[in-house]
Amino acid sequence: MAHEDHTAVDNYFDAALLHPHPALAHIRAANTAAHLPDIDVAPNQGKLLALLVRACGARRVLEVGTLGGYSTAWLADAVGPAGTVITIEINPHHADTARANLHQAGHTNVDIRTGPALDILPSLTGGFGFAFIDADKQHSADYFRLAVELVVPGGLIVVDNVVRAGAVTNPHDTDPNVTGTRALIDVVATEERVHATTLQTVGRKGWDGFLIALRR
């Protein structure tokens, strides 16, 4: 199948299963206007994250990598007004864009922390029921190690972009995004506090996938 076919399949299921959401559409448009990179999760992936949050009953959610707040908005919808999303973004322009977007969307349950995640994560109090890691891939293993300490038993940790269009299988690929992902898999494989698997995805975002880990 060509990439156009993958996108057409996504569009078919989105039309049937994703109801129009003006606030989310506004965030995507605002991110484009602010010249943010087009690396948000796809709409169906955003809904998957929201369903996973609801399925595990999380009321406190951690996100590493805010960008313009598109995935954050899905997470904030899922936890509801009584829940909390703490999201970390290293780029001040991205963080400011996300604050404006989430304010416009009416999400008062989001706390955006600006700065390096490796500095911020150790300062957080645990008790998170769900963590979504979608930041620089070079440090995915470090983010995962810290997330394991912060997520409660029965909670989920999801890491995006672990397939890298298949490059993760090439031990000679020295791209930092690939070597960082391979380091993540090495860490997860020996982490006895989680049950984990990966899921390849194909669609409008190309060929990639998620790692999903259940905290024991």
pLDDT at 92: 98
Pairing of strands 60-64, 110-114: unpaired
3-state secondary structure of 206: strand
In sequence order, the 6+-apart residues with CB closer than 8 A to the CB of 6 are: 202, 203, 204, 206
pLDDT at 3: 81
For residue 88, is pLDDT > 80?
yes
Q: What is the pLDDT of residues 106-141, one digit of tens each?
A: 999 999 999 999 999 999 999 999 999 999 999 999
Structural domain for 26, as ranges: 3-215
3-state secondary structure of 152: strand
Question: What Å distances lie between residue 139 and 44, 136, 193, 207, CA to CA?
Answer: 26, 6, 20, 21
pLDDT at 104: 96
When divided into structural domains, the chain yields a total of 1
pLDDT at 198: 98
Q: Tell me, what CATH number does 174's domain have?
A: 3.40.50.150
φ, ψ of residue 205 to 5 degrees: the values are -90, 5
pLDDT at 69: 98
**Quick one: pLDDT band at residue 1, thresholds 50, 70, 90?**
low
Query: For 66-88, b where at least 16 C-beta lie within 10 A, e where not — what string?
Result: bbbbbbbbbbbbbbeeebbbbbb
